Amino acid sequence: MALLELESLHVRFRTREGELEAVRGMDLAVEPGECVAIVGESGSGKSQTLLAATGMLAANGTASGRVAFEGESLLGQPARLARVRGPGIGYVFQDALGSLTPHLTVGAQLAEALAVHHGVSAADARTEARRMLERVQVPDPDARLGQYPHELSGGTRQRVAIAAALMPQPRLLIADEPTTALDVTVQAQVVALFRDLRASLGMALVLVTHDLGVVAGLADRVIVMYAGRIVEEGPAVALFASPRHPYTAGLLAALPRLDDDLAAPMRTIPGVPPGAGRDAGCAFRYRCGHASGRCEVRPDLAGSGSSRVACHHPRDPGGGS
């Protein structure tokens, strides 16, 4: 049984300009211990998918479809959601300083999560908090326990935020842009940390990012989202080697490489992502070099085995670019 399952998940927001559909029918299954990366530009619906799955949409948002964790349906079940959040699903957000409560010490915040879920005594929770800080490689953990978030450096804050999410021992960790706000060197450290943690704790990881470098370092499977839908999914190695959707190929081409000519302009995908209006065709067709009349009808997500793509003009599997 899959750990987390989403079936035709839709997320809508009521806004002043009318209804806005951020996620338009999303299917996803995460197996225990697996690492799935969801990539796409900002606004593609990747964060909203996971916020909806954990019942944490903003007040003007509604989710429909099916969300199940370990077989238990979660949508519209606040009591179950409350049980699952923490020991079932942990969540690490992009904004590390923002994720920590400013007026509570690191020790208090770490211990709280454990005490609430596992009824551990304050002293034991504190010992466990110290062990967790060691585990996420925070230097001088004893001193950190008594410090406030604003007294820590950016990298340490993110490690503490990760530690806080790990305290209730979740079976699935969602990491939403965990490295975006960090320096490049710290980013690499955090990626290494996730790899270690996955190996030692055996938990599943869903990584939301637009940084394909992070994906390459961690993910087993990659899901590419565009305008609220999956446009391509497949094993990380295969997808990186031969992207089939023109959008995926564009994303990969836009990735800076070490051998880049620094003087040359950055490669980007021309155009901007579409707004969330209703459209019967392929959402990417306005920015796509291969678009044809067929693209006025939306392609289904189809394919063989574990690789699937939603495109009328998929690139040749062996072709690369």
Partner 1 sequence: MLGYVLRRLLGAIPTLAVIVVLAFLLTRLAPGGPFDEEQALPPEIKANLERAYGLDQPLPVQLGRYVAGLLRGDFGPSFKFKDFTVTELIATGLPVSLKLGLAAVLLAMLVGIPLGVLAAARHNSAVDHAVTGFAVLGIAVPVFVIAPLLALVFGIHLGWLPVAGWTPGTVRDMVLPVVTLALPVIAYIARLTRGSVLEVLRSPFVRAARARGIPGRRVLTRHVLPAALVPVVSYLGPATAAVLTGSLVVETIFGLPGLGRYLVQGALNRDYTLVMGMVIVFAALMIVLNLVVDVLYAWLDPRMRPGRRR
Q: How many CB atoms lie within 10 A of CB 132?
A: 23
Q: Which of 297, 313, 176, 179 lies closest to 249 in space, CA to CA?
A: 313
Comparison of 197 and 295: residue with beta carbon closer to partner 1: 197
- State the Cα–Cα distance between residues 257 and 241, nearest whole angstrom: 15
- State the Cα–Cα distance between residues 32 and 38, nearest whole angstrom: 17
At closest approach, how far in Å is the CB of 119 from partner 1?
13
Comparison of 109 and 187: residue with beta carbon closer to partner 1: 109
Comparison of 137 and 147: residue with beta carbon closer to partner 1: 147
Query: Residue 288 region, left (φ>0) first, then alpha (ψ -120 to 50), else beta?
Result: beta
At closest approach, how far in Å is the CB of 283 from partner 1?
28
Contact 111, 126 (CB under 8 A): yes
At closest approach, how far in Å is the CB of 177 from partner 1?
12
At closest approach, how far in Å is the CB of 258 from partner 1?
34
- Give residue for tokens 């699952």: 84
Comparison of 91 and 194: residue with beta carbon closer to partner 1: 91
Residues of this chain that bind partner 1 (CB under 8 A): 54, 56, 59, 82-87, 90-91, 93, 95, 98-104, 112-113, 116-117, 148, 150-153, 161, 164-165, 167-168
Contact 134, 197 (CB under 8 A): no
Comparison of 101 and 121: residue with beta carbon closer to partner 1: 101
- State the Cα–Cα distance between residues 21 and 15, nearest whole angstrom: 10
Per DSSP, what are the bridge partners of residue 30? 4
At closest approach, how far in Å is the CB of 77 from partner 1?
14
Comparison of 86 and 314: residue with beta carbon closer to partner 1: 86
At closest approach, how far in Å is the CB of 248 from partner 1?
29
| 3-state SS class at 135 | helix
At closest approach, how far in Å is the CB of 213 from partner 1?
25
